[in-house]
Amino acid sequence: MARTLPKLGEELVAQVETAWAETQPDWARRRLLVVRLIAQHELTVAEIMKIADVSRQTVFTYRDKLVAGGVVALLQRGKAPGNRPVVRGAVQTEFLEQLAAGKFRRAKDAQAWIKKRTRKTLTESGVRKVLRRLGGKLKVPRKSHAKKDPAKAALFKVELPAKLEAIAGAAQQAGQPVRLWVLDEHRYGLLPVIRRTWGLRGVRVHAPYATRYQWGYLHEAMEVDGANRLELLFTPCIDQDVHALFLQQLGATEPAALHVVIQDQAGFHLPTTDPRLPKNVRLLPLPPYSPELNPVEKLGDIVKDRICNRLYPSLRRLEDHLLAALRPWRTDKTRVADLIGTGWLLDGVNAGVPT
């Protein structure tokens, strides 16, 4: 005949009943149930196992913890040690540097790097877990010109306040309003933009396509801080005369103000000393091949998202669609402010010539 367990003693029983009356998580409630059944001294170990849905060893483990250290010891939940990650410490730091630089085209590349660095081989699924754990994400890389000088791009951010002060400091001290713009252009046309789209697994997705070479140019300028305006101009071609026309449009938004325009050094942009430059406009060139410094680039990506995977019967219909797609940014300055962000550009403007 099965025997019941020895009695626990009045003090331990009182501790168990006090803890039982309190709110406990499910795992703690189960432990208390086991020792509470033991304390009642009416059931066998097999009966306690069945009621609490635990193993025989668990019943004795919980009893021993209670006897050794009371309810406090019983309700201490240890953390499983688990396996030590292969990519940790100095190796993790180096791995993150490689990941930030986009050195891993595939999980296999990361797998080979880990094996070379640690002499341990992870499965591809294990490598993907490491990549996700450390913030990795499969991305389409952005094109970067071979002549780009990262040092010049970094220096531009540092020198921006001083450059703005040199260009517009005197005007601001004289009480003249100063408005800062970022400017760029994007080509659009009847040749469709094809981008990824959602579809069913195993079913090929098709997008309409026709080879038609008709183009136009969308000139865009966003005001940094201040009114956060968005100015647009559609033109059939692009050259320095057209660029001068768009600069006149920016200057006309507030004729009494001095308009400082940050732009790249494209050949169809006016140089800073060109006589066609409006009197109330000043130019601040970006370093060569540094599109990431211009927030207007984000607007171009938004435009492509709105017109991708579609055919348009004419440029006019396409332009109407572009205007409709950009209307939220033309009417809501907070959207423009979101594109500009709160990073180095806004900090440099406020440090140089607050608008």
pTM of the model: 0.65
What is the average pLDDT across 203-215? Answer: 88
Specify the pLDDT at position 42: 82
What is the average pLDDT across 53-62? Answer: 89
Find the distance separating the first CA and the last CA of the chain, reported in whole Å.
Answer: 91
What is the average pLDDT across 98-114? Answer: 91
pLDDT at 212 over 60: yes
pLDDT at 158 over 60: yes
Predicted confidence band of residue 4 (pLDDT cuts 50, 70, 90): low
- Which of 235, 189, 237 lies closest to 212, judged by CA? 189
pLDDT at 3 over 60: no
* Other Cβ atoms within 10 Å of 192 Cβ, number: 18
Rounded to whole angstroms, the Cα distance separating 230 from 219 reads: 10
Predicted confidence band of residue 8 (pLDDT cuts 50, 70, 90): confident
DSSP 204: -
Contacts of 53 (CB under 8 A, 6+ apart): 30
What's the whole-number average pLDDT of the chain?
Answer: 89
pLDDT at 16 over 70: yes
Percent of the chain with pLDDT over 90: 50
pLDDT tens column, 284-341: 999 998 989 999 999 888 888 888 999 999 999 999 999 999 999 999 999 999 999 8
Specify the pLDDT at position 79: 66
pLDDT at 268 over 90: yes
Predicted confidence band of residue 139 (pLDDT cuts 50, 70, 90): confident
Rounded to whole angstroms, the Cα distance separating 347 from 333 reads: 19
Specify the pLDDT at position 1: 42
- Strand-by-strand arrangement of the 281-285 sheet: 230-235, 215-224, 178-189, 258-263, 281-285
- Three-state SS for 148? coil
Q: What residues are paired with 117 via a beta bridge?
A: none
pLDDT tens column, 160-197: 999 999 999 888 888 999 999 999 999 999 988 888 88
Q: Is the dihedral of CA 113, 114, 115, 119 positive or negative?
A: positive
- Three-state SS for 238? coil
Specify the pLDDT at position 164: 92
pLDDT at 353 over 90: no
